[in-house]
Structure 1
Amino acid sequence: SIFDGSSVVTVMDKNLIHQQVKLINKISHKDTEAYSYETTCPTKGAQWRLYGEKLENGKFAMLEIPIESIENTLDIVEKFFSYLVLLSVVIAGIFSVILSRNIAKPVAELNEIAREMGRLNFNKKYLGKRNDEIGQLGQTLNDLTTRLEHTINELQRELDKEKQLDVLRKSFIAQVSHELQTPLSVINGYIEALEDDLVDTEEEKKYYYEIIEDEASKMSKMIRELLDLSQLEAGTFRMQREPLDVTSLLDEISHKYEKIAQAKDIKWHYKNMKEKVMIMADVVRIEQAFTNIITNAFKHTEEKGQIKVLTFLRNDQLHLVIENEGDSIPEEELGHIWESFYKAQTSSGKAGTGLGLAIASNIFKVHQIEYRAYNTDNGVGFELIMDCLSPRNG
């Protein structure tokens, strides 16, 4: 026999087996049999599991294992699996917490950002630094909130501008109605006087007719300006642009306004380029724009005041500067004086319909001429910058 402390291997004949053991039960599986038995070896009442194979010499090789050893092994295996299950539950719980922190919390944060976007609150941003899909989604939400905020702000500005324009339009219509009503009232009054033969001499009649004609001309001019402005703003006004000697045009305009300045007791200071400078322009419309700027300067220059008109070349561009002594324009209104239907208010209380400058600005835009208004130490200035066909001449 061979005994290793837990099992015994013996070689004996079959009869000897049955004489020294008490059979408890028999286990059969296919051609194999195993026995549970009780023996006095190594101690009385010991139970063993026996497995035997018949050898070639007719004897049997037997493997005997104590049942107590098997049960101990099963207990150990059962405890091992119990501990393994418990450990698995603990590990699963830990992973659940980790996943909750790494996935559930960021997802909840992204959901909150989306809710705030629905309330048009774009201040909440995703601040995570993840490089996975959640991080990409957070960055996408950030980009989306930025674009939405920008778009909504732009729409709000446009809405505010439309509201402001509507207010200005109503104010302008009221002012134009007043401006038209004034000459109409004068014309009606003089016509009634003529119809009722309230005018005695031919000289008085001639004077009345001159007044009527003058007032009618003012109305006609205002209506033409309104039509021009409407076409310019709608982009339906046709321009016939061609090479134009702008220095010669300015000389002609200066000659006309020099006499007006003398009549109004205003100092006229004019300094133009001596050489010819060519630009591409519609001569009628560009003269109209220049005239509107200069007329505006006369309107806001007091008696004994001065108007300066000068030109100079810089970087192949002609600069035209028109400055007048008089009231300044409030800084917050400087950017608005070019707008359609804008009624500018000067510090002295003088007001204008805004037609002349609105028409001029639209003509400058079509000709791609840069323009700006600014306050000087003792008045207001306008600067126009035009691209030349060549640095010196055409």
Structure 2
Amino acid sequence: MRGIIGKLWLTNVFLVVLTLLILGIALGKLFENFYFSQRAEQLIRDGRQIAQLVVERQTQDWTLEEINLLSRFIDSNVMVVDRKGLVRACGGMMRMRPGMHLEQEEINHVLEGKTVISRGFHPRFDMPVLSVAVPIRAAGEVVGAVLLHTPVEPITQSINAIRRLILYAAAGAVLVATIISFFLSRQLSLPLLEMKRVALNMARGDFRGRIKIRAKDEIGTLGETLNFLSAKLEKNLRALSQEKEKLANILSSMTDGVITFDAEGKVILTNPVAEQLLDIKQENKEQLEKKYPEINAVLHRVLETNVSEETQIKVGEKIIALRMAPLRQEDGEIYGVVALLQDVTKEWQLERLRRDFVASVSHELRTPLTYLQGYAEAILDGLAETPQQQRKYLEIILEETLRLRRLVSELLDLSQLESGQINLNFSTFSLPQLVRRVTDKLKPVAEKQGIILKTDLPSDLPLVFSDEDRVEQVLINLLDNALQHTPTQGEITIKAEVLPEEIKISVADTGPGIPREELPLIWERFYKVDKARTRAGKGTGLGLAIVKNIVTALGGEVGVESEVGKGSVFSFTLPLRDPEQDK
């Protein structure tokens, strides 16, 4: 009975029962009053006729037989009294003898000329009776009264019979009303139950359900409104879902980390890049506050000042650029903060390398220029007195000039390689011949430094299809780099290995090696290892950058393996070309 059908049914039944109860009580009372009033009027008419009869007989004395006959005729107890309240005649059940005196209260009103009607328990009859007192008038004066008494039980029985009839009719009406009310309640509540089902499905996220409109009444209008609401919500939620997916895809595909905070500084959202940069997990966002207090410090300042802020933080070996900006509502109130994190470690390292390179190039340029200026001034000032001294000074000037030219050439080569303006001349050539030619050029330098230069090449190396001059430049740069870092009595070995689709050439030295953290940076331009590891600080830091750019342009890859104290192995690959394809 907790459902709407039961409630409607109970309400209707209650209203019907209440209505019938009130109606039954009212009808019972109405019939009761009607019967008693009819009987009272009848008694009044009978009493007036008896009073008229008394006046016509000119005597108030009646025989017992006459009174009893009259009582049976009108079905009432008849009593005649004079003005003094003395009984003149009495019949029926009252058993009062003539001459007995009635209480003055009983006949006061009737002796005043009024007709009196009363109903209630009468002690003389020992039962409820209906009493009527009619005055007897003679010559315009009240000379006595006629009192009529009749039991109310016959009237009550008739009224009770009518009440039972009303009760039976009401019970039947309640039964019929109950059945009709049940079906009407069910019919009225079906659309509401359908609306409930659709609303519950909407709450669960299913907006496909629609309500069948059966009528154009208020319930039908409500159903149409609910259908419109369902369609609108489905459309809006689909749009929100699409926007959410777009936002999630954007955040996931961003190369920068994103973190959003609420107005209380709690993490709401992080993208995978931010989780990776800060080494946190989506389900453990609270660890951010404990692990990175510097981020929380910036966050609280932004929340307090309502001003964006930028800074850099160090996370392990990484440098993270942190930018925080407040999120404002239309009224300007802050409801959160968005943080953008960017790994600038490489840029920071490159900037440091650039500064080091500028300092190194400045030094490299200043040193030969100083020599050139000094020895040129010495010659001009006549300090070189002998031809031998002049020749020596001129040789130094030439050597420094060649050094400057080499530095400028390397810068130009690197610039052309990085801009893609280099011209490549591919041809088929023998790699062993190229290696032998390069080692012949550099062997005197190696012997002068006390370094052993060796080759370890397979006898069945295939021909290589590439730019021979550029490959020679790569080998020279790698060997020059090895010569700078290999100590006296060290060894440099050139090796070659044939792979399925390429050939791998490597240059191994027995130098001091390179720390692991510096390996990713050695191919960058401007990079130069610690000068303490080089021979007399030679080199500009451009050789390996040129090697990488040339090899990449030739379609190969560079690589390096190194261990501090055990030397390094620099390698590069070149694609193979079948000589038959050139025919």
| Distance in 1, Cα, partners of 2:343 & 2:200 | 50
Q: In structure 2, which of residues 176, 181, 185 is the aligned counterpart of residue 73 of structure 1? A: 176
Q: What is the 5 A alignment of 1:214-363?
A: 214-275=399-460, 277-315=462-500, 317-345=502-530, 348=533, 352-363=539-550
- In structure 2, the CA distance between the partners of 1:156 and 1:383, relative to structure 1 (3 Å rule), is farther
Shift of 1:273: 3.6
Shift of 1:215: 0.6
Structure 2: segments with no counterpart, 5+ residues: 1-157, 207-235, 257-272, 274-339
- In structure 2, the CA distance between the partners of 1:348 and 1:173, relative to structure 1 (3 Å rule), is closer
Residues 526 and 541, structure 2, Cα contact 8 Å, conserved in 1: yes
Residues 425 and 467, structure 2, Cα contact 8 Å, conserved in 1: yes
Amino acid at match of 1:374: E
Q: Which residue of 2 aligns with 1:387?
A: 575
Amino acid at match of 1:323: A
Residues 551 and 574, structure 2, Cα contact 8 Å, conserved in 1: no
| Distance in 1, Cα, partners of 2:459 & 2:175 | 121
- In structure 2, the CA distance between the partners of 1:392 and 1:329, relative to structure 1 (3 Å rule), is farther
1:265 is paired with a residue of what secondary structure?
Answer: coil
- In structure 2, the CA distance between the partners of 1:295 and 1:355, relative to structure 1 (3 Å rule), is same
Shift of 1:248: 0.8
1:182 is paired with a residue of what secondary structure?
Answer: helix
Shift of 1:305: 1.0
2:382 is paired with a residue of what secondary structure?
Answer: coil
Per-residue displacement from partner, 1:187-232 (whole Å, max 9, x unpaired)? 1111122222222212111111111111111011101110110110
Shift of 1:389: 1.9
Greater Rg over alpha carbons, structure: 2
| Distance in 1, Cα, partners of 2:163 & 2:573 | 122
- In structure 2, the CA distance between the partners of 1:152 and 1:271, relative to structure 1 (3 Å rule), is closer
Shift of 1:380: 0.7
2:455 is paired with a residue of what secondary structure?
Answer: strand
Shift of 1:354: 2.0
| Distance in 2, Cα, partners of 1:176 & 1:99 | 72
Per-residue displacement from partner, 1:333-364 (whole Å, max 9, x unpaired)? 11211111222337747765320110011000
Larger relative contact order (C-alpha < 8 A, sep ≥ 6)? Answer: 1
Is 1:103 the counterpart of 2:190? The answer is no
* Mean CA deviation greater in 302-311 or 153-162: 153-162
Shift of 1:322: 1.1
Q: Which residue of 2 aligns with 1:63?
A: none
| Distance in 2, Cα, partners of 1:69 & 1:139 | 63
Q: Which residue of 1 aligns with 2:558?
A: 371
Residues 317 and 391, structure 1, Cα contact 8 Å, conserved in 2: no
1:203 is paired with a residue of what secondary structure?
Answer: helix
Shift of 1:315: 2.9
Q: Which residue of 1 aligns with 2:252?
A: 149
- In structure 2, the CA distance between the partners of 1:207 and 1:349, relative to structure 1 (3 Å rule), is closer
TM-score by length of structure 1 reads 0.66
| Distance in 1, Cα, partners of 2:521 & 2:418 | 16
Shift of 1:172: 1.5
Residues 485 and 533, structure 2, Cα contact 8 Å, conserved in 1: no
Shift of 1:385: 2.4
Residues 522 and 528, structure 2, Cα contact 8 Å, conserved in 1: yes
The CA RMSD measured in Å over matched residues stands at 4.1
| Distance in 1, Cα, partners of 2:408 & 2:189 | 95
Residues 47 and 68, structure 1, Cα contact 8 Å, conserved in 2: no
Identity %: 29
Shift of 1:234: 0.9
Shift of 1:95: 6.4
Residues 244 and 278, structure 1, Cα contact 8 Å, conserved in 2: yes
1:103 is paired with a residue of what secondary structure?
Answer: coil
Residues 551 and 573, structure 2, Cα contact 8 Å, conserved in 1: no
Aligned length: 310
1:237 is paired with a residue of what secondary structure?
Answer: coil
| Distance in 1, Cα, partners of 2:399 & 2:581 | 42
| Distance in 1, Cα, partners of 2:415 & 2:371 | 27
Structure 1: segments with no counterpart, 5+ residues: 1-39, 49-65, 105-132
| Distance in 2, Cα, partners of 1:268 & 1:305 | 9
| Distance in 2, Cα, partners of 1:392 & 1:308 | 31
Q: What is the 5 A alignment of 1:193-212?
A: 193-212=378-397
Shift of 1:321: 2.1
| Distance in 1, Cα, partners of 2:163 & 2:461 | 136
Residues 485 and 534, structure 2, Cα contact 8 Å, conserved in 1: no
Amino acid at match of 1:150: S
| Distance in 2, Cα, partners of 1:349 & 1:226 | 20
- In structure 2, the CA distance between the partners of 1:71 and 1:305, relative to structure 1 (3 Å rule), is closer
1:152 is paired with a residue of what secondary structure?
Answer: coil
- In structure 2, the CA distance between the partners of 1:391 and 1:143, relative to structure 1 (3 Å rule), is farther
Residues 244 and 279, structure 1, Cα contact 8 Å, conserved in 2: yes
Per-residue displacement from partner, 1:233-280 (whole Å, max 9, x unpaired)? 111111112222222111111122222222211112223344563222
Shift of 1:313: 2.7
* Mean CA deviation greater in 68-77 or 181-190: 68-77
Q: Which residue of 1 aligns with 2:96?
A: none
Q: In structure 1, which of residues 192, 201, 215 is the aligned counterpart of residue 377 of structure 2? A: 192
